[in-house]
Structure 1
Amino acid sequence: MVNAVKAVLSDAEHRIGIWYIRQNALKQLSALYMQPGFEILFNRCISDCQTEEEFESRWESLLERFDLSENPWLSSLYKSRERWACVLIKKTFCAGLQHGENIQSVFQIPKNENTGLLEFAQQYLEVVKRRRLEELDEDFQCNGTAQVTILTGSAIERQAADIYTRTLFKTFQEEFLKCLSVTIEETASNETITTYNLTEEGHKESVVEFNCLDSRVPCSCKKFESFDILCVHALKVLNARNIFHVPHKYVLKRWTKSAKCGVPYEYEQEMADETKQQTVNLLMHKTLNVFTKSVAIEDSKKIAGDFLGKTLEQIEDVLRVKN
């Protein structure tokens, strides 16, 4: 599979699921699971390290404590650590998909290792069909209802409610509300960079470097790099610096209500925010009406498909001319 991914999906980052590793560890190291402390230390190695140094230290400790330096399965696992160790892969965007998830839970496949390729492909197509319908309904709900904010006086929460989809707004809101249980301490500063140590209740310390020139807030937890949404630590620093909006560079179009509008990013920025959202809402409402009314009858589906195809061609012509 590794070789196939390299050949066919050369730009993809191949990952090994934590669920898969744990299942194999139960088979390969079953006797060790009976020894006190092994399972806890093993799980910390694979999914609870903040730095590469911490990972290496814990791995060495695991091998020494349980005399596993010559274990072939663990040696092979360590060689492929770039594809599964959380601390090593969190710098790569994964859209919030936890690589520990069991693929059976995504595709709802019966627990049968003999599932054939054709059967899997059919199940996959059913999943895609179902999720596209769910997404269509979510688009309609997203553009037709106002998001509920918790802190009525918070400008940054109102901004997030206006721009993010319902699902992403909930994610943002969870991070934002966790700011209440985070301590912050300034540890270093120069003309442009101020470094902060932040500790979330029950979690390890994270480090954020605030750049006063462009409001960049990179965090050691790497949530933005892996999810494209600001973490609680970055939000806490922005609040401490009296910045009450999400900096433009941290708003990714893929998570916004206008993600599907098709307007090139550079043109979208020319539109006033309020006017842009009103336009998007109106067009989305009209388009969703076309979809929902046309799917019932074959003739109406053909009319809608032909019309939308011609419309898209005309829009692309206009954009090419303007570009």
Structure 2
Amino acid sequence: MLGRPPQVIITDQCRTLQTAVADVFPRASHCLCLPRIMEKVPEKLGELYEYESIRMALHNAVYYSLRPEEFEATWEDMIHHYGIGDHMWLQMLYEDRRRWVPVYLKETFLAGMLPTRPNEVVDSFFRGYLDRHTSLKEFLDKYDQALQANHQLEVLADMESRNSGFMIKSRCYFELPLAKLYTNIILRKFEQEVEGMYSCFSTRQINAEGQVITYMVREQTEVDGNRRETRDFEVLYNATQMEVLCVCGLFNFKGYLCRHALSVLHQNGIEEIPPQYILSRWRKDINRSYVLNHDHSGIDVNNPVHRYDHLYKCIMQVVEEGRKSEVRYKETVQALDRILSKLNLV
């Protein structure tokens, strides 16, 4: 984190944790893990009369509400219809709704770390390293092991993205420039949104206020895995600022534009994604800021990840020293030029 506090913290639902996070990281957005909450539904609600209908009503309220007022109305209807207003767990969930229901998290950048769709899975960072019986001492050791292992996987993935081409299915003009910028993993995810444009069968302007034009994009969406439903998504578009904002909130949830926003850009003849929607964190030409802690004895010179990490650590020390004065800066630049000249001759 380079000394910076986290912007978002995701935990299980726990009052003690909420108090601790608010105390230690007061500026962070504290979110609750939606999948863990939904996993508890059978345990917490399974004995209720008409459980299956209640489960479906809760599922629809959580995953398919596009606006807070829509969620509120659906939730209230569920509570009154099934007479479960006195259920303590549901009351606690409703009190915490702004921390876990996707419709309230659209202003929070989550970078794909919190699943917001049914059956969506995000691999645990610590899978295979930690369990509920891990002691505090073991946690500190295994945390470091997990961190290094995941960073190595990320570096290897970046190298693969740089050195191997990505086969684009659709040949859509939105994808062609991004194939040179995005990592392969993000391209695969973004490709799903490009393909999803074909399920958006109607994009029409419904309002214009100053420079902002409001569009309604109609899409055939899959609901519950076996039936399709027509839904309307409101998209705001500012041609002057090249800004596009969809009510589905996918950009903040995942870090790339949704099919509805792409449909509006397409309608306006825009053939490339505006640069502010191409995040550095997904680019394969950006060097990552983390550094693994390899000392000289632990470096495998045959391992390109080890070589990269050790050189990066060394050069960052040079940068820190070189920035301290004008004289040091000039000496550093001259020394680096000499090194580059030698390397180019090898």
TM-score by length of 2: 0.73
Q: Secondary structure at the match of 1:14?
A: strand
Which amino acid in 1 is paired with 2:126? F
| One of 104, 121, 124 as aligned partner of 1:88 | 104
Structure-1 residue corresponding to 2:10: none
Deviation, structure 1 residue 84:
0.9
| One of 227, 231, 252 as aligned partner of 2:258 | 231
Structure-1 residue corresponding to 2:207: 188
Structure-2 residue corresponding to 1:18: 34
Distance in structure 2 (CA, Å) of the matches to 1:147 and 1:9: 40
- Give the paired residue count: 291
Deviation, structure 1 residue 123:
3.4
Structure-2 residue corresponding to 1:107: 126
Q: Does 1:47 align with 2:74?
A: no
Q: Does the 8 Å contact 2:106/2:252 carry over to 1?
A: yes
Which segment drifts farther, 143-152 or 206-215?
143-152
Which amino acid in 1 is paired with 2:164? T
Instruction: Write out aligned runs for 1:16-165 (5 A).
Output: 16-32=32-48, 34-99=50-115, 105-109=124-128, 113-152=132-171, 154-165=172-183
Q: Deviations over 1:266-290 (max 9, x none)?
A: xxxxxxxxxxxxxxxxxxxxxxxxx
Distance in structure 2 (CA, Å) of the matches to 1:247 and 1:28: 45
Q: Does the 8 Å contact 1:20/1:102 carry over to 2?
A: no
Q: Does the 8 Å contact 2:114/2:122 carry over to 1?
A: no
Q: Does 1:219 align with 2:237?
A: no
Deviation, structure 1 residue 301:
10
Which runs of 5 or more residues in structure 1 are unaligned?
263-290
Q: Deviations over 1:48-80 (max 9, x none)?
A: 211111111111111111212222222122111
Percentage of identical aligned residues: 24
Which segment drifts farther, 140-149 or 236-245?
140-149
| One of 259, 265, 278 as aligned partner of 1:251 | 278
Distance in structure 2 (CA, Å) of the matches to 1:315 and 1:258: 25
Q: Deviations over 1:221-246 (max 9, x none)?
A: 11112322111111111111111011
Deviation, structure 1 residue 293:
2.5
Distance in structure 2 (CA, Å) of the matches to 1:292 and 1:148: 33
Distance in structure 1 (CA, Å) of the matches to 2:174 and 2:42: 46
Structure-1 residue corresponding to 2:193: 175
TM-score by length of 1: 0.78
Structure-1 residue corresponding to 2:340: none
Deviation, structure 1 residue 119:
3.3
Distance in structure 1 (CA, Å) of the matches to 2:316 and 2:282: 25
Which runs of 5 or more residues in structure 2 are unaligned?
1-16, 223-230, 290-298, 331-346
Over aligned residue pairs, what C-alpha RMSD do you find? 3.4
Q: Does the 8 Å contact 2:113/2:122 carry over to 1?
A: no
Which amino acid in 1 is paired with 2:320? E
Distance in structure 2 (CA, Å) of the matches to 1:257 and 1:234: 24
Q: Does 1:197 align with 2:216?
A: yes
Q: Does the 8 Å contact 1:17/1:102 carry over to 2?
A: no
